[in-house]
Structure 1
Amino acid sequence: MKKWMMAIGLGAMLTLGACGGGDEEDTSGNDSGTTTGSIDAEAVYAQNCAACHGANLEGMSGPALTDVGARLSAEDIEGIIRNGQGNMPANVIQDDDEIAAVAAWLAEKK
């Protein structure tokens, strides 16, 4: 059962990751703290991470990230995104700026 769920999660992650996008600039004037420069970290997370970690960071086949910033620094999170950890593959996010934005956003979750 667990392998089946992981296969579905990985398939969803690969499908969502292949959707592209992410180059849009936030012109809404809404500073919700989820953007770094022109990168919407929450949107990058939704495209690349939510399939395993949940749309609300609640965890699914991957661990919950609701308080990940209380355990890990932005640099630690960047390392995990780049190198993988446990069942998480390396380089789920390819762009360095997107990795930094998502890591900084997640580090705020305490």
Structure 2
Amino acid sequence: MKKAFLAVAGGSMFMLAACGGGGGEEEDTTAAPEQLYQQSCATCHGENLEGNNGPSLEGDLDEGHVLTMIENGGDGMPANLLEGAEAESVATWVAEQ
């Protein structure tokens, strides 16, 4: 009886381990920069970067400056509306527009 139980338990553990294998790669859950901009920035800077109650982001903007503003805030803008990779992707996207 013990051998049968151990066989079933061992087989179950093997099956569960095999099914859960994610390959060690983390899934990228970061939203697209345009989507992040719309969620976190568009209220103040306009849906098309034209400005609203915040300044326009149209024109030749330096990515580093945009990232600094996102991280540190300033001129009425709160700091850290986005952080890390999200902040970097939005700064890059804004500078490319």
TM-score bracket for this pair, using the shorter chain length? 0.5 to 0.7
One-letter code aligned to 2:48 = N
From 33, 41, 44, the equivalent of 1:49 is 41
| Alignment of 1:104 onto 2:92 | yes
One-letter code aligned to 1:79 = T
Deviation, structure 1 residue 39:
4.0
Identity %: 42
Deviation, structure 1 residue 75:
1.3
From 73, 85, 94, the equivalent of 1:84 is 73
Q: Which contiguous aligned blocks of 4+ residues in structure 1 show a shift greater than 4 angstroms?
A: none
Deviation, structure 1 residue 59:
0.6
TM-score, normalization by structure 1 = 0.59
Contact 1:50 1:57 in 2 (8 A): yes
CA distance in 2, matches of 1:56, 1:105: 12
One-letter code aligned to 2:95 = A
Gaps (5+ residues) in structure 1?
1-22, 24-37
Q: CA RMSD in A?
A: 1.7
Q: Which residue of 1 aligns with 2:52?
A: 60
Deviation string for 1:66-100 (max 9, x for gaps)? 21xx1x32111111000001010111113x00101
TM-score, normalization by structure 2 = 0.66
Deviation string for 1:6-60 (max 9, x for gaps)? xxxxxxxxxxxxxxxxx3xxxxxxxxxxxxxx64100000000001111111111
One-letter code aligned to 2:70 = I
